[in-house]
């Protein structure tokens, strides 16, 4: 009798565990679905807004774009910046993502984040961008030296060329130090397939090779 009671108790415990795991799986899948849909909707909305701004700046200027857009609030590195920054593209990897200001959890779930305090495209200095290794910045694992990176903003269209790829410790802040040159630094966690909080950071450094003040829109 005692053995039967113990088996029944164990069976019930396993049944409750199975149900709990099922509920957890449903919740996790639901959250993943929400995150993917939310990111897709955000990217579509911001991309349309950016293309509208690019066409507006081009039409208003009739040539070189010099005026500041309301999407990029001004001027010297370190100045307050809000909202949409632009679009970053890597043609060889078919990579195209919207860039917005900030590196908060919601921001990085939806887009590539511009690191506050770093330069903006078109300014002299180090433009810092961050993204999650298991989401938008996963393609960075396939980058090569000399790959082209394009950055479209209402301030202009900028081309960069990758010059270094390296893994560093998380406290290595020198990678985001100010620069006397026009450079772009992409930051994500490393290794890319590490389970749990990754111990390193993957750093992509690219130098600006040209700047067009005539904004090009990817939507014609």
80 has a pLDDT exceeding 60: no
Q: Which residues does 86 contact at the CB level (< 8 Å), separation at least 6?
A: 50, 72, 98, 99, 121, 151, 152, 153, 154, 155
Spatial distance between the Cα atoms of 199 and 136, rounded to a whole number of angstroms: 19
Is the overall model pTM greater than 0.85, yes or no?
A: no
CB distance 158 to 122 below 8 Å: yes
Is the per-residue pLDDT at 219 higher than 50?
no
Per-position DSSP letters for 176-215, written without gaps between them: G---SSEEEEEEEEESTT-SSS-SEEEEEEEEEEEEESS-
The reported pLDDT for the residue numbered 63 is 53
Tell whether 12 is covered by a domain.
no
79 confidence band (pLDDT: 50, 70, 90) = very low
Q: Residue 49's pLDDT is what?
A: 87
In a domain, 10, yes or no: no
22: in domain: no
Q: Is residue 71 included in any domain, yes or no? A: yes
Q: Give the tens place of pLDDT for each residue, 85-129.
A: 999 999 999 999 999 999 999 999 999 999 999 999 988 999 999
**Can you give the length of the chain in residues?**
220
Beta strand pairing call for 112-114 and 95-101: parallel
Per-residue pLDDT at 169: 96
H or E stretch covering 33: helix 2-61
Mean pLDDT value across residues 78-83: 57
Q: If you ran DSSP here, which 8-state letter would residue 21 be given?
A: H
**Is 25 contained in some domain?**
no
76 lies in a domain? yes
User: Comparing C-alpha atoms, which of 152, 150, 137 is closest to residue 186?
Assistant: 137
Q: Are 161 and 149 in contact, with CB atoms under 8 Å apart?
A: yes
Q: Residue 180 pLDDT more than 50?
A: yes
140-153 in b/e form (b: 16+ CB < 10 A) is beebeeebebbbbb
Predicted local distance difference test score (pLDDT) of residue 66: 42
Domain residues for the domain of 169 are 46-212
Alpha carbon distance 33, 124 (integer Å): 40
Specify the number of domains making up the chain. Answer: 1
DSSP-derived 3-state class of residue 167 = strand
CA 208 to CA 185: how far, in whole Å?
Answer: 11
Structural domain includes residue 140: yes
Question: CATH number of the domain that 132 lies in?
Answer: 2.40.260.10
* Res 177 pLDDT > 60: yes
The share of the chain scoring above pLDDT 70, in percent, equals: 76
Kindly state whether residue 7 falls inside one of the protein's structural domains.
Answer: no
Q: Which helix (H) or strand (E) holds 54?
A: helix 2-61
Confidence of residue 155 (pLDDT cuts 50, 70, 90): confident
pLDDT digits (tens, 9 = 90+) for 34-74: 567 777 788 888 888 888 888 876 666 655 444 333 333 34
Q: Kindly tell me if the per-residue pLDDT of 28 is higher than 70.
A: no
Q: What is the pLDDT of residue 11?
A: 78
What was the pLDDT predicted at 215? 41
């Amino acid at each position: 009798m005692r053995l039967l009671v113990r088996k029944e108790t164990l069976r019930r415990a396993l049944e409750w565990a199975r149900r709990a795991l099922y509920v957890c799986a449903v919740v996790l899948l639901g959250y993943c679905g929400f995150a993917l849909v939310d990111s897709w909707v955000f990217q579509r909305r911001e991309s349309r807004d950016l293309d509208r701004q690019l066409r507006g700046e081009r039409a208003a200027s009739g040539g070189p774009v010099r005026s500041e857009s309301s999407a990029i609030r001004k001027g010297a590195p370190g100045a307050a910046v809000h909202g949409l920054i632009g679009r970053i593209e890597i043609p060889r990897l078919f990579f195209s993502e919207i860039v917005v200001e900030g590196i908060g959890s919601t921001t990085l779930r939806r887009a590539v984040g511009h690191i506050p305090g770093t330069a903006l495209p078109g300014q002299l200095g180090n433009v810092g961008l961050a993204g999650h290794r298991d989401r938008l910045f996963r393609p960075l694992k396939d980058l090569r030296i000399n790959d082209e990176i394009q950055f479209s903003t209402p301030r202009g269209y900028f081309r960069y060329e990758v010059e270094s790829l390296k893994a560093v410790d998380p406290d290595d802040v020198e990678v985001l130090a100010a620069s006397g040159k026009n450079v772009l630094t992409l930051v994500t966690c490393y290794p890319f397939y590490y389970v749990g909080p990754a111990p390193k950071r993957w750093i992509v450094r690219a130098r600006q090779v040209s700047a067009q003040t005539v904004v090009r829109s990817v939507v014609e």
